[in-house]
Amino acid sequence: MTTPLDDAPTPLAVGRSLGRTAAVLVVLSMALSIISSVVVGLGLGPVQWRRETGAVADGDGLREAVYLGLAGAQVVWVALATVGLVLGIVAAVRDRGRMPGVVAIVGAVLGPVVSFAVFSGLAVASLPGA
């Protein structure tokens, strides 16, 4: 005797790539955010100090524009990490790459904190006389 469920099509195999995709997005956003923080943290402090003391050097305006552009790029990296966070949550809940999904969740939470700490530390350390 057969039941209607016996004739039902079998579901497609569930892939694990969602968790990997989330982890890659988060790692990429963390790396780019930290690189931006390093460049801005090392460069913006001396430019601001020269502006406040009146010892403006040639090219400071351009440097400041580049540093502010990189600081603005942080919005893009946070958005990328947010996408990775959402994908990581979905992957962890639906078992579509649970471990990479958890890595993405943790990275998306810690990435901005680490990036801001790197920026703050380097900005203070790069000030003349610090």
Say if 111 falls within a structural domain.
Answer: yes
Say if 58 falls within a structural domain.
Answer: yes
Say if 12 falls within a structural domain.
Answer: no
Between CA 84 and CA 89 the distance in angstroms is 9
Say if 101 falls within a structural domain.
Answer: yes
pLDDT attached to residue 5: 61
Query: Is the pLDDT score of 104 beyond 70?
Result: yes
Say if 2 falls within a structural domain.
Answer: no
Say if 73 falls within a structural domain.
Answer: yes
The total number of structural domains in the chain stands at 1
Q: Residue 98's domain spans which residues?
A: 17-125
pLDDT attached to residue 103: 96
Say if 64 falls within a structural domain.
Answer: yes
Q: What percent of the chain has pLDDT over 70?
A: 88
pLDDT attached to residue 43: 83
Contact indicator for 108, 82 with CB cutoff of 8 Å: yes
